Structure 1
């Protein structure tokens, strides 16, 4: 009863979710996963915003957002700031590079700070093989905690990403994907509601 009442109250609110993606590689596969998450969040009645380093083309960090004069902030840096600032929660989508997050993903985090504060987050990882990028989850969780956006315990972890999602981001097993999405997203939504109450 209490859980059902909580879920009804959550549905009354529309939240903004930033999906922060880490890959800049050609022929990247994780974007299929990202697009699936975006679609599912929209179906839940919320607003997803993708932060894509390939499109943003952020240079290696020289000056953080707060170090710029307001009139001199480059458009690409300002655009990501605006997305992060208005977001109520964050979903980080990452592959694993030598047990660590991709450099482009870390570079995004290094540009910003207060935008993340006191907002929930979660980690979703993937791989082309069988292990779903599990080793990158711990360093990402540590980084998110340091930024002030504590990660929830759940996430969606996708092995064999190119076989599971086709080029249109349609999963080969829709029921399985939906169940796994709902497990982490319902939890993230619960925390988002609490952080915004």
Structure 2
């Protein structure tokens, strides 16, 4: 069964990020075409990147990196829940992505973003980072506005219009995730020759 992680993008106390991720998980819970799991970056206590070797070597020295690597390796695809911070993705998510490399290669990703402009700029930056990690990212994107999808900028209450964009993104993500499974199998066949 295809496994997709719903990855949080913030660890700041009081952040709405986890509530958005939990909403995504609740919305996809009834699907039978993939398994979904919430992966909270905060649970891994990743300090500012502290590995001595570049991630591409997978020569991890720290237990938190080994744990993060093992968890990400379990999945075929990802839904990143990203907030916009200083016209980019949040630093916690960018730091978490920087810890790994091969664990993300030839997998697929979709985005659920939020911010004053729907988190568009955060996702624009994430697309570049994920391209370098060889992650195929789907076009469809879910965007929530702090002005219309959050009560008092703090309680997540998506409008019907915004919420309706999730299913098409997930549909596309599952197709791409399955296609990337074939790419990984081909890559494995080539490298083991």
Give the structure-2-normalised TM-score. Answer: 0.80
Q: 1:68 aligns with which of 38, 60, 66?
A: 60
- Mean Cα deviation higher: 48-57 or 150-159: 48-57
Instruction: Please state whether the residue corresponding to 2:140 is helix, strand or coil.
Output: coil
Please identify which structure carries the higher helix content: 1
Q: How many residues align?
A: 175
Q: Which residue of 2 aligns with 1:139?
A: 125
Matched, 1:181 2:166: yes
Specify whether residues 158 and 172 from structure 1 end up closer, same or farther in structure 2 by C-alpha distance, changes over 3 A only.
closer
Instruction: Tell me how far 1:158 sits from its aligned partner.
Output: 0.8
Report if aligned partners of 1:164, 1:172 keep a CA contact under 8 Å in 2.
no
Please identify which structure carries the higher strand content: 2
Instruction: Tell me how far 1:178 sits from its aligned partner.
Output: 4.9
Q: Which residue of 1 aligns with 2:36?
A: 48
The runs of at least 4 consecutive aligned structure 1 residues that moved more than 3 Å come to: 164-167, 175-178
Q: 2:12 aligns with which of 14, 25, 28?
A: 25
Instruction: Tell me how far 1:55 sits from its aligned partner.
Output: 2.2
Aligned-partner Cα distance in 1 for 2:110–2:43: 22
User: What whole-Å deviation, never above 9, does each CA across 1:95-135 have from its counterpart, x for those lacking one?
Assistant: 111111111111101111001111111222102x3x11111
Mapping of residues 31-42 of structure 1, within 5 Å: 31-42=18-29
Matched, 1:152 2:138: yes
Aligned-partner Cα distance in 2 for 1:44–1:165: 30
Instruction: Please state whether the residue corresponding to 2:6 is helix, strand or coil.
Output: strand
Specify whether residues 107 and 166 from structure 1 end up closer, same or farther in structure 2 by C-alpha distance, changes over 3 A only.
closer
Q: Structure 1: where are the runs of 5+ without partners?
A: 1-13
User: What whole-Å deviation, never above 9, does each CA across 1:141-163 have from its counterpart, x for those lacking one?
Assistant: 01111100121101111112433
Report if aligned partners of 1:51, 1:80 keep a CA contact under 8 Å in 2.
no
Report if aligned partners of 2:143, 2:162 keep a CA contact under 8 Å in 1.
no
Aligned-partner Cα distance in 2 for 1:177–1:16: 25
Report if aligned partners of 1:18, 1:83 keep a CA contact under 8 Å in 2.
no
Matched, 1:113 2:105: no
Specify whether residues 172 and 155 from structure 1 end up closer, same or farther in structure 2 by C-alpha distance, changes over 3 A only.
closer
Report if aligned partners of 2:89, 2:122 keep a CA contact under 8 Å in 1.
yes
What is the root-mean-square deviation of aligned Cα atoms in Å? 2.4
Specify whether residues 23 and 106 from structure 1 end up closer, same or farther in structure 2 by C-alpha distance, changes over 3 A only.
same
- Mean Cα deviation higher: 184-193 or 76-85: 76-85
